Amino acid sequence: GAVVSQHPSWVICKSGTSVKIECRSLDFQATTMFWYRQFPKQSLMLMATSNEGSKATYEQGVEKDKFLINHASLTLSTLTVTSAHPEDSSFYICSARVIDKRVRQYFGPGTRLTVT
């Protein structure tokens, strides 16, 4: 199947700093990319949907000024967590979607963020 990479795989940062997470589709062009967050023992929750060259669409309750999403190309999307707080500590997973004859969605390996 298609490959989606994320970088970094894990990061520890101090409260108040910003962290950027990159998501790349390595061998295909993604029409849409998604960002999810997963807290321990909970399921994935969609944070935002982004299409290349346009503004991201955020889910209800997700602060767009805190979680900045940039989708500069069909193979790269970035999520920046600004002014991080300990409650932002979570597992962030990106996903890239391809639509040809059917809808297929591939997940990155995730980024574990710990804010101290």
Instruction: Give the residues lining the site for another protein (CB under 8 A).
Output: 1, 34, 42-46, 49, 57, 91, 93, 95, 97, 103, 105, 107-110, 112
CB of 61 to another protein, least distance (A): 15
Residue 38 token pair? 């997963």
State the nearest-atom distance from the C-beta of 51 to another protein, in Å.
9
Contact (Cβ atoms closer than 8 angstroms) between residue 55 and residue 70: no
* Min CB(83)–another protein separation in Å: 26
Q: In a 3-state reduction of DSSP, which class is residue 87?
A: helix
Closest to another protein by CB, 14 or 102: 102
Structure token pair of residue 49: 């949907």
d(CA 70, CA 16): 21
